[in-house]
């Protein structure tokens, strides 16, 4: 069975602070994919990143960076110099290579960035 845990329900930071959103996953598959999605207040789900289990390189995209560590089954997401527009709910998700390729989502972390 697969499981994704986002232990942080809600985080509040002041603009320009760095913030890390934690994601811990469980799977028995050796090949799997990890995702992060953003859900802004408008409600849509925006794809941010996909990482496969064979690629443990960290990734940076502008103010966003992701740290994938198989040893701790974690795929954490850091926003550097946060901005008010980063306020959203962020979901971590896991997919395996089975025929259904279902995405298993965590419960989400609500990030509130204030001035």
Partner 1 sequence: EAQVTQNPRYLITVTGKKLTVTCSQNMNHEYMSWYRQDPGLGLRQIYYSMNVEVTDKGDVPEGYKVSRKEKRNFPLILESPSPNQTSLYFCASRAWGVAYNSPLHFGNGTRLTVT
Q: Contact positions toward partner 1, by CB under 8 A?
A: 4, 33, 35, 37, 43-45, 47, 50, 52, 91, 93, 95, 97, 99-103, 105-108
Pick between residue 100 and residue 115 the one whose CB is nearest to partner 1: 100
Pick between residue 31 and residue 58 the one whose CB is nearest to partner 1: 31
Pick between residue 57 and residue 115 the one whose CB is nearest to partner 1: 57
The answer to whether residues 66 and 80 touch, using CB atoms and an 8 Å cutoff, is no
């Amino acid at each position: 069975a697969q499981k994704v845990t986002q232990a942080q329900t809600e985080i509040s930071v002041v603009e320009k602070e760095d913030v890390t959103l934690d994601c811990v996953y469980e799977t028995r598959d050796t090949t799997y994919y990890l995702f992060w999605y953003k859900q802004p207040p408008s409600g849509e789900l925006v794809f941010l990143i996909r990482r496969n289990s064979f690629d443990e390189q960290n990734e940076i995209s502008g103010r966003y960076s992701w740290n994938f560590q198989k040893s701790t089954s974690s795929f954490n997401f850091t926003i550097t110099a946060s901005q008010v527009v980063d306020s959203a709910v962020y979901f971590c998700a896991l997919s395996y290579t089975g025929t259904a390729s279902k995405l298993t989502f965590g419960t989400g972390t609500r990030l509130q960035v204030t001035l």
